[in-house]
Amino acid sequence: MQHEGRAITTIEGLAENGEPHPLQTAFVEHDGYQCGYCTPGQICSAIGMVEEFRDGLPSAVTPDVAAHDLDFSDEEIKERMSGNLCRCGAYVGIHEAVRAAFADEVAR
């Protein structure tokens, strides 16, 4: 109900022209999954997380919540992705995939 009338993109909607989203490719390249159960949620959450980051929205670890020039730090990625659990413990690969896919876009 909170998103009535708004567009919702699922994992199936990320590919364009048959090409996977860069984050999907990064998950493969950086071993961002094991069983894959959590992977759709991890990827969709990461894309949403980066959109919030680009919009300058602070997280619980943002040093200066009034700043709009945020640092795409490891701490920011971990905090912003902390709501997604991975029973396989593939967090290192997930983190590396997120950084690899978005570092050029959001790094300053």
Q: For residue 19, what is the DSSP state?
A: B
Q: Is 84 in the site for ligand FES (CB under 6 A)?
A: no
Q: Is 83 in the site for ligand FES (CB under 6 A)?
A: no
Interface mask (CB under 6 A) for ligand FES, residues 27-66, using x and -? ------xxxxxxx---------------------------
H helices of the chain, in order, are 22-29, 39-54, 74-80, 91-106
For residue 17, the SS3 value is coil
In this chain, which of 3, 6, 68, 87 binds ligand FES, going by CB under 6 A?
Answer: 87
Distance CA 81, CA 53 (A): 12
Q: Is 72 in the site for ligand FES (CB under 6 A)?
A: no
Distance CA 73, CA 71 (A): 5
Output the smallest distance, CB 82 to ligand FES, in A: 14
Contacts of 70 by beta carbon, 8 Å cutoff, 6+ apart: 53, 56, 58, 62, 76
Number of residues that bind ligand FES (CB under 6 A): 11
Nearer to ligand FES, 44 or 70 (CB): 44
Q: Which residues sit at the interface with ligand FES, rule CB under 6 A?
A: 33-39, 86-88, 90
